[in-house]
Amino acid sequence: MAMSNTYNIDYHAISEGNSTLEFAINDELFAICQSPEILHGDGKAVFTINKNGNTAKANVNIITTVVSPCDRCLDECSIDVNWTGQTIFKLTEHTDEYDGDIIYVNNSNQSLDLAQYIYESIILALPIERAHQNIEHCNTDVTKFISTNIE
């Protein structure tokens, strides 16, 4: 579990008022989340936080390039992601919950693991069709095969 510490923060370590947290998006994140869809990534996630006691609001900006198998030829193709969203961290007595808008932080351990949140946001931001923009960039062995079969 040591690996996921990169995306693990202590709620109490966030300063009251405004602050910014930055996380690298790299292969480690996709390994932690055991991603079947994303093979590599290179970018960052920036959380601009406004903390007020037990609640912290965060504006999130994710700028990254990810590498995913192409829908057409299955070769690796890279996709640019620029995603902006909001979330709320909330300290609670209850066990860890997650509902998309609010990330609940358990009062007793105060640990906030953002790996899943960052990963899911990237998946949401991906286009439905993940393919080389230009079909000429596709693996020609495969595209030749496809066009031969269509004719």
Residues near Zn ion (CB under 5 A): 70, 72-73, 132, 138
| Contact call for residues 81 and 65 (beta carbons, < 8 A) | yes
Q: How far is the CB of 38 from Zn ion (least distance, A)?
A: 16
Mapped onto helix, strand or coil, the DSSP state of residue 149 is: helix
Residue 63 or 135 having the CB closest to Zn ion: 135
Residue 66 or 72 having the CB closest to Zn ion: 72
Q: How far is the CB of 148 from Zn ion (least distance, A)?
A: 17
- Measured CA to CA, the distance from residue 140 to residue 121 in angstroms comes to 32
Q: How far is the CB of 97 from Zn ion (least distance, A)?
A: 40
- In 3-state terms the chain splits into helix, strand, coil percentages (rounded to 5) of 25, 45, 30
Residue 104 or 130 having the CB closest to Zn ion: 130
Look at the alpha carbons of 41, 29, 129, 131 in this order and tell me if their dihedral is positive or negative.
positive
Taking the mean position of all CA atoms in its chain, how far away is CA 61?
A: 10
Residue 56 or 138 having the CB closest to Zn ion: 138
Residue 105 buriedness (CB in 10 A; 0-12 / 13-18 / 19+): buried
Q: How far is the CB of 77 from Zn ion (least distance, A)?
A: 6
Q: How far is the CB of 25 from Zn ion (least distance, A)?
A: 23
Residue 17 or 36 having the CB closest to Zn ion: 36
